[in-house]
Amino acid sequence: MKTEKNSMLKWIVIGVFAIVVVVAGIIIYNNKSHIDELSNQNADLNMTIEERDSLVNEMANTFDEIEENLTFIREKRSQLVLDQAEGKQDQKKVLVADIKLMNEMLEESSKKIDELEKQLKSSGIEIKSFRNKIAKLSESIKQQDENIQVLKTELEKRDYQIAEMDLQIEKMDSQMVVMETDLVVKADSIKNANNLIAEQDSELNKAFFTSGSFDELADNGVLTKEGGFLGIGKSKTIKEDFNETYFTELDKRNTNYFPLFVKKAKIITEHPDSSFRFIEEDNLITYLEIENPEEFWKVSKYAVVETKQ
């Protein structure tokens, strides 16, 4: 009886131990699965953190690059001077090159902003501060782009104004050429007119003088005797076809004295007595003085003086 009890107790102990072992195995198995799950979750979390850190670093670097670009553009734009008044072609080339550079930098920054948006969206990581930063940078890029467009518009406007000025200058140059040509023509006309007037004036004031004995004047085809009867009472007069070459040409405006140095002198041509006189010195008539040239030459532009030694 006692032996049976011991045997039964032994099997009970074995059964309890087996149950304990089974329960312990189950507990250990469950804990291991949970640990594996926690390990996997931890690995995923670490990967997510690494991806986030990588994204954060990449975005921070991109932010720095964009801000550097925008700072450069702001400074560059403040240095630009749109002064084309003097039409400096070299300055215009610099302005165009600077505007092109700023446009390229803005386009590059815009592309980087788009890439950041895509990366942030595809990562599944929501970082509010980054979205705010992206929004501010996008607005800044938009503002700078508007400023650049204003610069381009102003440059195009000034180019148009310069082109208009060039056309006006070209037109004025053409007008100046025409005016200069007209002035030359008018100057030539005035010169020719003045020459003609001078010639006419000189012709109008041209006079002729000659003197000598009757025989000299007659022999040289200047004087002749006309009228009378049988050679008596003939008067001395200038020939109708007198010899002009025996006269001295003069300008009656500035010739008022004719040297004679003879004992006797008589004017054959017709001149008012009040317009002239003979000047005598040392019993000689030294010269003929014309006191009133206008009156003296009024009747004839030829003066003939007969002299006797």
* Mean pLDDT of all residues in 106-133: 73
Among residues 129, 156, 172, the one where a domain terminates is 172
Together in a domain, 211 and 167:
no
Q: Which residue has the higher pLDDT, 16 or 258?
A: 258
Residue range 83-93, pLDDT digits in tens: 544 445 566 67
Together in a domain, 210 and 299:
yes
Among residues 123, 147, 172, the one where a domain terminates is 172
Together in a domain, 162 and 40:
yes
Q: Place 214 in a pLDDT band, splitting at 50, 70 and 90.
A: very high
* Mean pLDDT of all residues in 27-53: 61
Together in a domain, 134 and 258:
no
Concatenating the DSSP letter of every residue in the chain gives -HHHHHHHHHHHHHHHHHHHHHHHHHHHHHHHHHHHHHHHHHHHHHHHHHHHHHHHHHHHHHHHHHHHHHHHHHHHHHH-----TT--HHHHHHHHHHHHHHHHHHHHHHHHHHHHHHHHHHH----HHHHHHHHHHHHHHHHHHHHHHHHHHHHHHHHHHHHHHHHHHHHHHHHHHHHHHHHHHHHHHHHHHHHHHHHHHHHHTEEEEEEE-HHHHHHTTSEEEE--BTTBSPEEEE-TT--GGGSEEEETTT--EEEEEESEEEE-S---GGGEEEEEETTEEEEEEES-HHHHTSS-SEEEEEEE-
* Mean pLDDT of all residues in 229-252: 82
Together in a domain, 97 and 140:
yes
CATH number at residue 48: 1.20.58
Position 282 in a domain: yes
* Mean pLDDT of all residues in 219-230: 77
Together in a domain, 222 and 300:
yes
| 206-212 and 302-308 strand pairing | parallel
Together in a domain, 112 and 222:
no
Residue 256 confidence (pLDDT) above 90: yes
Expressed as residue numbers, the domain containing 266 is 205-308
Instruction: Provide the number of structural domains found in the chain.
Output: 2
Together in a domain, 157 and 278:
no
Position 126 in a domain: yes
Position 179 in a domain: no
Rounded to the nearest 10 degrees, how much is the dihedral formed by the CA atoms of 238, 240, 245, 251?
Answer: 70
Residue 233 confidence (pLDDT) above 60: no
Together in a domain, 237 and 116:
no
Position 190 in a domain: no
Say if residues 277 and 291 touch (Cβ distance below 8 Å): yes
Q: Which residue has the higher pLDDT, 283 or 135?
A: 283
pTM for this entry: 0.44
Position 232 in a domain: yes
* Mean pLDDT of all residues in 95-99: 73
126 φ/ψ angles, rounded to the nearest 5 degrees: -100, 110
Together in a domain, 78 and 155:
yes
Together in a domain, 260 and 168:
no
